[in-house]
Amino acid sequence: MDVLFVMIPLGLVLVVFAIWGFIWFVRHDQFDELERQAWSILFDDDNEGRP
């Protein structure tokens, strides 16, 4: 029962940290252009400089 006095505040701190991190990522445009990286593997740009 004593472990609840440690785990509940620790869990709340982790939830607050996760929410803060998500808000920070959204405000700093970390979720823009999600599809560009997914489509980039379909295009072969490796042989642009080759003769």
pLDDT single digits (tens) 15-46: 999 999 999 988 998 877 777 777 777 776 66
Supply the DSSP string of 1-51, one letter for each residue.
-TTHHHHHHHHHHHHHHHHHHHHHHHHTTTTS-HHHHHHHTTS--TTSS--
For the full predicted model, state whether its pTM sits above 0.85.
no
- pLDDT range class, residue 48, cuts 50, 70, 90: low
- pLDDT range class, residue 50, cuts 50, 70, 90: low
Q: Does residue 8 surpass a pLDDT of 90?
A: yes
Confidence at residue 30, expressed as pLDDT on a 0 to 100 scale: 81
The angle subtended at Cα 27 by Cα 20 and Cα 40, nearest 5°, is 110
